[in-house]
Structure 1
Amino acid sequence: MGRDCPAGMKHPARGEDCPEGGACPPGREPYAAAPGGDMNPLTCWARRAANAAAIAITLATSLAAPAQAAPPPAELFFKDADIIEAVLSPSGRRLAITSAKGATRVGLVVIDMGPGGQMQRLAQFSDGDVFQVRWVNDERLIFGVTDLSEGSGRPQGAPGLFSVATDGKPMRQWVRRMGKPFISNGGDDRILDWNHFVLRVPAPQPGQPNEEVLIAEYGLGEVHTLTPLWLNTRTGRTRSVSFDQPRNTVGWLTDENAEPRVAITMEKGRRGAWWRAPGSKDWVQLYDADQFKLPFQPVSVDNAGNLYVTRTEGPHRLHVLTRYDFAAQAPEPKPLVVTPGFDFSGELLSEGSRTALGVRVQVDGEATVWFDDAMKALQQQADRLLPGAVNRISCRRCGQPDMVALVRSSSDRDPGRLLYYQAKPAEGEKPWTSLGRMRPDVKPEQMATMELARVPARDGLELPVWVTRSPNAKGPLPAVVLVHGGPWIRGGTWRWHPMAQFLASRGYVVIEPEFRGSTGYGDTHFKAGFKQWGQAMQDDVADALRWAQQQGLASDKACIAGASYGGYSTLMGLARDGDLYRCGVAWIAVTDLDLLLRGSWWVRDDTTSLARQYALPEMIGDPDKDAALIAAHSPVKLAARIKAPVLLAFGEDDRRVPLAHGKRMREALQAAGNDPVWVTYPGEGHGFAVIKNRVDFAQRLEAFLARHLQP
């Protein structure tokens, strides 16, 4: 039982009480709210980032464990989870789950959570997998269907939109799947074309059963505009919204009732934001600014008509959450939520309430601070039952005496488990019930730990670095420097990551730097990466490895690996810092910067002309004005400097980074006398979707690294 059945719970299969749990492990800190302010700034979080020395001491002095006969197979890390989505109905009496367990495709199952409740399979397709499940009301769900059985690069089309009732009535289709036949609606041919998708489902209101959802029509021009309308999921009828929208609207922000309140516009490299107050049909412009110089960013709207935005402050220009002051026409100067060391990234938790009940943020890991006393108490109870984990609560009738909740508990070593809570359980029932694990084959005790350090780059910039390593390892290990893609994203969060865990299970320490240009650590860190591909961004990657070696975490045996931009960085690392790396693995990698920035009549890709005109020249370089800079940092032109063995892998139908990038790099390496290991996957695009391809690539990666690192 153990980990599957926390203390104080009733095991659903065996019926007996669960044993007492252990204490919170070292390094785990509770989050807390500091006094002052309407929402109380966060002063600490779920797992405070450890400093470099603490990580080094903890990892380097761990006792060695008995060697395993063999590490877990690659399939364990890269197959789909048994439970993918889990969503409570508005009443909390039913739970919708998507899973392929016992089937060849992901289907939709609904479980009655009452005593003796039944399980009912409501949707299963032979040519697709169910995803993006939402409850419209307690009797009806909507969902889309996607088909990745032939790879991520084949034209999968839009997912369509289906509805199904819990009473067993026939499933209905309201939006067509691109390239797929229409499922008959019993003589009713009312259906929308494939370029419609759901924006939001209104929050449930007592005594007001909902039937409608807000959808949007996706424009197919150069600017992909979004036009909202309402769809009745019982009849298929649509109705227009009650307002005219601003020109070139590409995004919407709604309140809890799914009423559009903020429109985001894009035109010629400029972004605008417009506000529509409750009860009004008119739009007021909040700003019109260069896309890289926004004064603030709208985040959320509550049903009281408050607009919440993020703005930057401090030397690192970190994003903080505040209200927008309509009288002053500016964000309020006093922040509501600050996350020291991180940009605010999260959501206000209203759960149907008029105002926020709490806030969920992403710092090193996820943390939730509740303002409601009953929700605070429930979070504390969940954290006591499941110590050392992130325990995300989704509730119905939140904070009320009869509330119910779904808790997903996960950590860096545990992909997650589900628990069901009832404030007023039925007679003979306990408040907590264990529902099962997302990936039951994964044994948390066999997984590696993940920690975040802050180290200085060579120019003094603070560099966040993730370290994943077996807690039983002793001394320096062979290292894999894993470079994230993007590059303008945040690379890591404290959770279970399949690739890092797979590499750690093979005896490596995995070093993942949040190099400059990464988001989530302030605008200063983000914009320090502009026009620094292959330069300071690459120095950060090398500095992260050298730090790990100095701290006794990594040995002098190291390889570099990554996908997309990470693949570009892999090749540039081999060309610039060949003394650091014994090999490199680059998959779906950018190799030719000129091809990326200019495009080609002969190479089909999905980079828009607007991106090439307004964004990429500023972020990477202008193909004409910065031609020398681009040529000097394009891997395909530096192949002669790459001496280490290289593995190249590509999807044959990739439109983000077309196969031409791979072919040109392969030919350049061959001409330089360094014939790379080469593999391509038919049907795959920018990422490998077919499980057998994921597993095949992982096995090739494992063999290649073992040949050159010998852990």
Structure 2
Amino acid sequence: MSLMRGFAATAAVLCLISFAVGAQEASSPASTQLSQILQNQQDLEHRLDELERAIDDIAWYHRVGDIALVDKWRITGPPDANPKNPTAPGATNPVKFFTYTFIPRDRKPNEKLPMLVFPHGGVHARFDSNYSYHIVRELVQQGYVVVAPEYRGSTGYGKGFYQLIDYGGREVDDAQAAKDWALATFDFIDRERVGLVGWSHGGLIVLMLAFNHPKDYRCVYAGVPVSDLIMRLGYHDKDYEDLFSAEYHVGKTVRQDIAEYKRRSPVWHVEKLAVPLLIHTNTNDEDVNVIEVEHLIQALKAAGKDFQYRIFQDAPGGHSFDRLDTPEAFKIRKDIYAFLARYLKPPRALP
């Protein structure tokens, strides 16, 4: 648990004590009091998320600002997929979200650079420097422009944005919108050298982008990708299921709407693959079980698709095995970078 989360837990306990004392004289039902307690705790957690995100924005500048021009932009994606009141004013307006850009400082005049779209992983997460800054540094050092969308449902932007989540749906459209925006904004990006890279939930997003927009991307790397939500919700606990069946999200369980979960899962769209693809998975992954990625691999083979994959055997780090700051993980990333360089031709590909 992070320091901020520790504060949140402590504050929640204090809230519980305060409400418990007041409950002795309160006239409202206990269920109403409990609901208010939980609401207060959730509000506090969102505020702490905003604080953590603001601190991490500063960290990005300090960690990669020496080699990259770091910026954060507010752009738009499609409207809310599940508005509470579809006829309310603004219900069909584009969703506003932030996108990070990392541009090599040493770009030569008139030089065209390749770009990588890099969506973060995690259900209700963000592009956290603690997990990604070494990878961003390595990509920028090779000469890539990195675009990292904080798609709908990301944390650190308040409860309203959190509840816009559309896993495997319009969050994918947000990432596509970030790509389109970058190409329209920066004339030094070579639109013929745009690639995709993502891990876990980010791996699902880049797969869906490649499947839905094959002419827009030259290649895609998907690390330990969430591949089949139907299978995934079968081996995860109820808390994970609740994230998807929440009223503001899918609103139904898998059993209640299998077709909707298939729509959001890459494994059911493999016939659309038309760009070079590299997949990595790990047999001791504690989050995205290897069986889920094996299902994706089998489906791609059955569809007759040409792609590359590697199943690592109990590689140290489990779900994060190729994102750690270890010699073993860096060696694996060099293989990933070699795959990307084959199609995107960065100016300083690693030897």
- TM-score bin (small chain): 0.7 to 0.9
Which aligned pairs between 1:391-410 and structure 2 lie closer than 5 A? none
1:263 aligns with 2:13: yes
Match of 2:141 in 1: 505
Match of 2:168 in 1: 534
Structure 2 residue matching 1:295: 3-state secondary structure? helix
1:680 aligns with 2:308: no
Counterpart residue type for residue 64 of structure 2: R
1:288 aligns with 2:30: no
Distance 1:566 1:487, change over 3 A: same
1:546 aligns with 2:296: no
Which aligned pairs between 1:406-485 and structure 2 lie closer than 5 A? 411-413=62-64, 444=66, 447-459=67-79, 460-473=94-107, 474=109, 475-485=111-121
Which aligned pairs between 1:22-41 and structure 2 lie closer than 5 A? none
Distance 1:344 1:609, change over 3 A: closer
Structure 2 residue matching 1:518: 3-state secondary structure? coil
Distance 1:584 1:495, change over 3 A: closer
Structure 1 residue matching 2:105: 3-state secondary structure? coil
How far is the alpha carbon of 1:695 from its aligned partner?
1.1
How far is the alpha carbon of 1:589 from its aligned partner?
0.8
Aligned-partner Cα distance in 2 for 1:580–1:642: 12
How many percent of aligned residue pairs carry the same amino acid? 24
**Cα deviation code 1:38-79 (max 9, x no counterpart):** xxxxxxxxxxxxxxxxxxxxxxxxxxxxxxxxxxxxxxxxxx
Counterpart residue type for residue 486 of structure 1: G
Say whether the 8 Å CA contact 2:50–2:158 is kept in structure 1. Answer: no
How far is the alpha carbon of 1:506 from its aligned partner?
1.0
Say whether the 8 Å CA contact 1:412–1:496 is kept in structure 2. Answer: no
How far is the alpha carbon of 1:627 from its aligned partner?
1.3
Aligned-partner Cα distance in 1 for 2:131–2:206: 24
Distance 1:287 1:648, change over 3 A: farther
Considering Cα pairs closer than 8 Å and 6+ residues apart, tell me whether 1 or 2 has the greater RCO.
2
Aligned-partner Cα distance in 2 for 1:493–1:701: 20
Counterpart residue type for residue 336 of structure 2: L
How far is the alpha carbon of 1:690 from its aligned partner?
7.6
Say whether the 8 Å CA contact 2:47–2:158 is kept in structure 1. Answer: no
How far is the alpha carbon of 1:320 from its aligned partner?
5.4
Report the structure number with the largest CA radius of gyration.
1
Say whether the 8 Å CA contact 1:545–1:554 is kept in structure 2. Answer: no
Say whether the 8 Å CA contact 2:206–2:220 is kept in structure 1. Answer: yes
Distance 1:287 1:588, change over 3 A: farther
How far is the alpha carbon of 1:672 from its aligned partner?
1.9
Answer 1 or 2: which has greater helix percent.
Answer: 2
Counterpart residue type for residue 243 of structure 2: A
Match of 1:246 in 2: none
- In structure 1, stretches of 5+ residues that fail to align are 1-131, 133-198, 201-250, 255-261, 265-272, 299-308, 312-318, 322-342, 347-360, 367-389, 391-408, 415-443, 600-606
Structure 2 residue matching 1:555: 3-state secondary structure? strand
Say whether the 8 Å CA contact 1:412–1:495 is kept in structure 2. Answer: no
**Cα deviation code 1:267-317 (max 9, x no counterpart):** xxxxxx51259xxx96868952399xx53238xxxxxxxxxx749xxxxxx
Which aligned pairs between 1:261-340 and structure 2 lie closer than 5 A? 262-263=12-13, 274-275=16-17, 287-289=33-35, 294-297=38-41, 310=44
Match of 2:26 in 1: none
Answer 1 or 2: which has greater strand percent.
Answer: 1
Match of 1:42 in 2: none
Q: TM-score, normalised by structure 1?
A: 0.40
How far is the alpha carbon of 1:637 from its aligned partner?
1.3
Counterpart residue type for residue 289 of structure 1: S
Aligned-partner Cα distance in 1 for 2:205–2:222: 8
Match of 2:272 in 1: 641
Structure 2 residue matching 1:561: 3-state secondary structure? strand
Q: Match for 2:281 among 650, 653, 656? A: 650
**Cα deviation code 1:58-107 (max 9, x no counterpart):** xxxxxxxxxxxxxxxxxxxxxxxxxxxxxxxxxxxxxxxxxxxxxxxxxx
Which aligned pairs between 1:602-621 and structure 2 lie closer than 5 A? 607-612=236-241, 614-618=242-246, 619-620=249-250, 621=252
Say whether the 8 Å CA contact 1:412–1:450 is kept in structure 2. Answer: no
Aligned-partner Cα distance in 1 for 2:61–2:215: 39
Aligned-partner Cα distance in 1 for 2:106–2:200: 32
Counterpart residue type for residue 277 of structure 2: V
Say whether the 8 Å CA contact 1:563–1:589 is kept in structure 2. Answer: yes
Counterpart residue type for residue 412 of structure 1: R
Number of matched pairs: 311
Counterpart residue type for residue 106 of structure 2: N
Q: TM-score, normalised by structure 2?
A: 0.78
Structure 1 residue matching 2:160: 3-state secondary structure? helix
Q: Match for 2:127 among 479, 488, 491? A: 491
- In structure 2, stretches of 5+ residues that fail to align are 24-29, 80-93, 347-351
Structure 2 residue matching 1:490: 3-state secondary structure? coil
Say whether the 8 Å CA contact 2:50–2:155 is kept in structure 1. Answer: no
Counterpart residue type for residue 343 of structure 2: H
Aligned-partner Cα distance in 2 for 1:519–1:461: 15
Aligned-partner Cα distance in 2 for 1:569–1:662: 14
Say whether the 8 Å CA contact 1:480–1:508 is kept in structure 2. Answer: yes
Counterpart residue type for residue 263 of structure 1: V
How far is the alpha carbon of 1:574 from its aligned partner?
1.0
Which aligned pairs between 1:130-169 and structure 2 lie closer than 5 A? none
Match of 1:204 in 2: none
CA RMSD of aligned residues (A): 3.3
Distance 1:494 1:554, change over 3 A: farther
Match of 2:260 in 1: 629
Which aligned pairs between 1:552-591 and structure 2 lie closer than 5 A? 552=186, 553-556=188-191, 557-591=193-227
How far is the alpha carbon of 1:668 from its aligned partner?
1.2
1:345 aligns with 2:51: yes
How far is the alpha carbon of 1:546 from its aligned partner?
0.6
Structure 1 residue matching 2:39: 3-state secondary structure? coil
Aligned-partner Cα distance in 2 for 1:283–1:687: 46
Structure 2 residue matching 1:638: 3-state secondary structure? helix
Match of 1:702 in 2: 337
Aligned-partner Cα distance in 1 for 2:214–2:181: 17
